[in-house]
Amino acid sequence: MVTFKLNDEFMFGTATASTQIEGGDTGNTWYKWCQEGRIKDSSSCITACDHWNRVEEDTELLKNLGVQTHRMSLEWSRIEPSRGKFSDDAMKHYRDEIKLLVENNIKPLVTLHHFSEPIWFHEMGGWKKTGNADIFIEYVKYVVENLGDLVSDWVTFNEPNVYVDFGYVIGIFPPGERSLSEGLKVTAELINTHVKLYRLIHRIRRERKFAGRTMVGTAMHLRIFDGISSTGKMIAKVVDYLFNEMFMEGMTTGHMMFPLSKKGSSHKKGRYADFLGINYYTRNIVEFVFDPSLYFHELVCDKDLTKSDLGWDIYPEGIYKVCKRYYKKYKLPIYITENGISDKNDTKRPSFIASHLAYIAKAIKEGIPIERYYYWTLMDNFEWLEGESTDFGLYDCNFRTQERIPRKSVRLYEQICRRKELTAEMIGDFKKYSGITIETIR
């Protein structure tokens, strides 16, 4: 049986992203991607969860869950619909949304870049064009000046490693390019930009004397990469270096690891993060393949592990391993900024949540300061390439009627959020209510 107890200061929350839930915006790159027929189920982010018009309803869901914090993102193309022209209406909307969170004692963690960008930014050359980073920096300056009195905690970039790999190396996310050299250039540009944003956000909140301790970081997608054969183990180390290590080092210290270019970097190696944001979902086995189009490797799953609806391995111990590894290296507090499972029938989600939190509790007992846990996600949403076909939500969202229907896991997560523990009694009560047994996943 899996049980745990966390301290009263530990914060539970949920995470969402604007493009995935808001709907209604035609100015972002993902809307264009949808229009071009790139989504597996032919759905579109123009629908999503209609959150833009249902903020009060969805905030009530958060309030009922008993969360202490909520991670959300802002849609750049709404706030800056054309170059240098900022929308007062969009900013008022986000201020009102964040005020509602604060009034309900839910601390906001705001993400500034979550994959989506204005179409006009890409038409100007995006991150590949020298000087364009300044456009994003000016946007962030406007945002922090207008929201910094309400928001003290910021994520500059969500999963920059996924953004670069999928958008510039593999070519399955916007802008759909396939070039390792261009991917490395964009990586260096994002690291340089993050360093500047870290300093900027701290300066604005300090000069304006906004209340609260300023916390700035990134949300990194970290995976466990293992190899079985000797060649597979060697390739796994390379993949880990390029996907995990290179990005973590850059976004935490500003250091450009090989093969990144230091050209254009005016900062010194230092500390440019106040916390380590970790998005953890799964583990992969890496195998060598003689195919340059696949960069000589492929990621496969472990036949002995239970799978999510997406076929991802459920490997809770991995969250303990990545937290231990990167705390040892950087000695910073950790926020689990995303952790979740696609599970339409909701039979695996209870054990998934319980087992991952048990490993978090184990890490905390060993002195690793994990301070927050954000479940991904509040409700089923537009899940990028998968469209409407995945079910990560605590709430089932009917995309046609926009009805939010609580899954049985809602009751479990609500109790965990409020009590900061999972006891044998809670497990027994949940089984009586749901018929679902919560088991330890190894």
Catalytic residues: 159
Which region holds residue 5: left if phi is over 0, alpha if psi is between -120 and 50, else beta? beta
Nearest to 53 by CA among 81, 2, 93: 93
The C-alpha angle with vertex 385 and arms to 130 and 251, in degrees rounded to 5, equals 40
- Structure token digits, residue 437: 């047994």
The span from the CA of 420 to the CA of 112, in Å, is 29
- Structure token digits, residue 57: 């309803």
Can you spell out the DSSP letters for 124-138? TTGGGSTTTHHHHHH
CB 338 within 8 A of CB 281: yes
Helix (H, G, I), strand (E, B) or coil at 148: coil
Classify burial at 414, counting beta carbons within 10 Å of its beta carbon; exposed 0-12, middle 13-18, buried 19 or more.
middle
339 residue type, one letter: N
CB 273 within 8 A of CB 267: no
Written in H, E and C, the secondary structure of 260-329 is CCCCCCCCCCCCCCCCEEEEEEEEEEEEECCCHHHCCEEEECCCCCCECCCCCECCCHHHHHHHHHHHHH
> What dihedral do alpha carbons 441, 388, 112, 151 form, nearest 10°?
-70
The C-alpha angle with vertex 24 and arms to 20 and 28, in degrees rounded to 5, equals 65
